[in-house]
């Protein structure tokens, strides 16, 4: 009996310590982080687009977390933006960090690729722009119709001839429009470094001086 108590006690203690270190402490540290001044909340349309992103499994191949060191190279060097900080995710419920990078990180894709046309063509058929792309095509987010059916003023996707359905025009569904609005909203170019006030700067300076002295 004694051994069982030790075993169960040890297991509970291990779990409690892990929960404290991995969940409770980070939660306490981050729960009051305010949103950066330059970060706009999502619009209704962008939020719907976010649901389309989730529903279509984009997270399986795309991360939303540029890091300092990627696979040997900093993500900023790849053009994916500065490393993200907790405050960047203030409006993200749930966060869509992702773990796989079959495709590029998308946290700043709206900056690199601001063109609606580009996103629609690429979603309809990635191979139209990137011949060896392994990204799936999402033609079911679009409707096709013959030219005479297209209502006046209706936007049509400029699919290059080689990939366009014969004799038909391609028109985005509401899901495609929402998804592209969400992709275009992915820009995190604002400044997140918080300036120190004078007292905090002085305290930090003397702490750093103290540390060098100890190391000497």
Per-residue string for binding with ligand HEC, 176-195, x by CB under 6 A?
Answer: ---x---x------------
Among 45, 56, 67, 187, binds ligand HEC (CB under 6 A): 56
102/154 with CB nearer ligand HEC: 102
Per-residue string for binding with ligand HEC, 65-94, x by CB under 6 A?
Answer: ------------------------------
Any bridge partners for residue 101, and if so which?
A: none
Residues within window 141-170 making contact with ligand HEC, judged by CB under 6 A: none
Size of the site for ligand HEC (CB under 6 A): 22
Report the candidate in 140, 183, 190, 149 with the shortest Cα–Cα distance to residue 169: 149
Please give the torsion angle defined by the CA atoms of residues 176, 181, 182 and 185, in that order, rounded to the nearest 10 degrees. 160
Going 138 to 75 to 64 to 23, the CA torsion angle's sign is: positive
Residue 130 contacts ligand HEC per CB under 6 A: yes
C-alpha distances (whole Å) from 208 to each of 195, 196, 202, 214 are 17, 15, 10, 10
Any bridge partners for residue 126, and if so which?
A: none
Give me the least distance between CB of 117 and ligand HEC, in Å please.
Answer: 13
Q: How far apart are CA 133 and CA 103, in angstroms?
A: 9
Q: Which positions touch ligand HEC (CB under 6 A)?
A: 53, 56-58, 60-62, 102-104, 106, 109, 112, 126, 130, 133-136, 138, 179, 183
């Amino acid at each position: 009996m004694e051994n069982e108590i030790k075993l169960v006690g040890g297991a509970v203690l291990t779990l409690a310590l892990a929960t404290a270190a991995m969940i409770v402490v980070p939660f306490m540290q981050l729960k009051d982080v305010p949103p950066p001044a330059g970060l706009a909340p999502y619009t209704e349309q962008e939020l719907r687009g976010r649901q389309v992103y989730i529903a279509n499994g984009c997270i399986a191949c795309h991360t939303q977390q540029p890091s300092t060191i990627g696979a040997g190279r900093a993500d900023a060097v790849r053009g994916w933006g500065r490393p993200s900080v907790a405050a960047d995710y203030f409006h993200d419920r749930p966060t869509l960090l992702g773990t796989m990078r079959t495709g590029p990180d998308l946290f700043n894709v709206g900056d690199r690729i601001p063109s609606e046309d580009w996103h629609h063509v690429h979603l309809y058929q990635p191979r139209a722009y990137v011949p060896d792309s392994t990204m799936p095509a999402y033609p079911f987010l679009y409707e096709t119709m013959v030219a005479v059916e297209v209502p006046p003023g209706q936007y049509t996707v400029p699919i290059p001839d080689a990939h366009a359905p014969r004799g038909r025009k391609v028109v985005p569904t509401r899901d495609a429009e929402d998804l592209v609005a969400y992709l275009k909203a992915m820009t995190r170019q604002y400044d997140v470094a918080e300036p120190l006030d004078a007292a905090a700067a002085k305290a930090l300076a003397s702490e750093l001086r103290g540390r060098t002295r100890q190391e000497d």
